[in-house]
Homo-oligomer: A and B are copies of this chain.
Amino acid sequence: MIIILKENADAQQFATLEKWLTDRQMSLHVSKGSHRTILGLIGDTSALDVTLIQQMEIVEGIRRIQEPFKKANRKFHPLDTVIRVKDTVIGDGSCCIIAGPCSVETPEQILTVARSVKNSGAHILRGGAFKPRTSPYSFQGLRAAGIKMLLDAARETGLPVVTEIMDLSQLELFNDVDIIQVGARNMQNFELLHELGHTRKPILLKRGLANTYQELLMSAEHIMNAGNENIILCERGIRTFENHTRNTLDVSAVPALKSLSHLPVIIDPSHAAGIAAFVRPLSRAAVAVGADGLMIEVHNDPQHALCDGSQSLTMPDFAKVAGDIRRFASLRMELES
């Protein structure tokens, strides 16, 4: 971090600032120019309150040099993190397909969808049991019973499963779940992140709807700092002024996050668009831009789905999209090799 002092900074104030910084274990590198003095800080600046320093009377401005995240930082961990879940691999250059219904509704429904998406080429089964819903009058998910149905379908088909946790009181229900999802609305639920850092399960961490890349990586850092480094980042659309789509899919998140961090990045085109007809073109774009995987909503009967039917693909439509994904992924791998 660099601190720029105002011209003719007062010596007494300078001494105070110097002490304040050394009290916080910073070494200082002072560079006096003809007009102004610049302080270079050496040490762990991640916990310094930048805006506070900025308001000290002798301070003209402040500039961060290093990203405030460490364990998630590619600079300190240049090799890609590769996550293994049963026979499936995420982050090795291939494109993993996660598919399933928004909500688990009945044992028959989840099993039907699981078998179908497996046949179409999905590697992991998704299905929600705890559902964050804007309205208290909407279907809130089958909760513990839903987890059980999902795990039964997993056993039957051999697919690993990912499902969302909404509160840490639910954690023991997730013992047999393969990947725990943290939803966009919980991306900064730090108590939850901290607790998930004590497990060793892969965490699928979704970007909040108005969170920056850096904030997403700081949330990953919360989990990693508590001990769990198995994190899959997920871009699922951000909130902008454009309301034609539910959210605005930010495909640049993939090259950006992969340059900043070593963690794998997947894309959820279903939540981003909110419109089933756009899932196919957005899935192609996601593969082309370099995503390590896709998470797609598929339902056996979208018009009767209890949740988010409008963005769900039918099982035959998913088969087509999965075919596209394979073709684009194989072109991508050919061009990279």
The chain A residues found within 8 Å of chain B, CB to CB, are: 2, 4, 20, 29, 31, 33-35, 38, 40, 42, 44, 46-47, 49-52, 54-56, 60-61, 63, 65, 68-69, 132-140, 166-169, 185-186, 188-192, 194, 209-210, 212-215, 218-219, 221-222, 225-226, 238-246, 248-252, 254-256, 259, 272-278, 281-282, 284-290, 302-305, 307-311, 324, 327-328, 331-332, 335
A12 CB to nearest B CB, Å:
14
Contact status of A242 and B250, CB under 8 A, knowing A2-B2, A275-B55: yes
A294 CB to nearest B CB, Å:
12
B324 touches A335 (CB 8 A): yes
Q: How far, in whole Å, are A300 and B248 apart by their CA atoms in the complex?
A: 34
A38 CB to nearest B CB, Å:
6
A331 CB to nearest B CB, Å:
5
Contacts of A20 in B (CB 8 A): 303-304
Q: How far, in whole Å, are A192 and B189 apart by their CA atoms in the complex?
A: 11
Contacts of A2 in B (CB 8 A): 2, 4, 38, 63
Copies in the complex: 4
A308 CB to nearest B CB, Å:
7
Contact status of A277 and B248, CB under 8 A, knowing A137-B47, A240-B240: no
Q: How far, in whole Å, are A36 and B75 apart by their CA atoms in the complex?
A: 15
Contact of A212 among B63, B69, B188, B241 (CB under 8 A): B241
A226 CB to nearest B CB, Å:
8
Q: How far, in whole Å, are A307 and B135 apart by their CA atoms in the complex?
A: 34
Contacts of A214 in B (CB 8 A): 244
Q: Which 8 A-B pairs have the closest CB atoms?
A: A210-B210, A63-B63, A51-B310, A288-B288, A31-B31, A284-B288, A167-B191, A285-B289
Contact status of A42 and B49, CB under 8 A, knowing A166-B191, A189-B189, A284-B288: no
B288 touches A244 (CB 8 A): no
Contacts of A259 in B (CB 8 A): 277
A-B contact pairs, 18 of them (CB 8 A): A2-B4, A31-B31, A33-B40, A33-B42, A46-B135, A46-B137, A46-B138, A47-B138, A50-B310, A52-B310, A134-B188, A166-B191, A169-B191, A249-B250, A251-B251, A255-B278, A285-B289, A288-B328
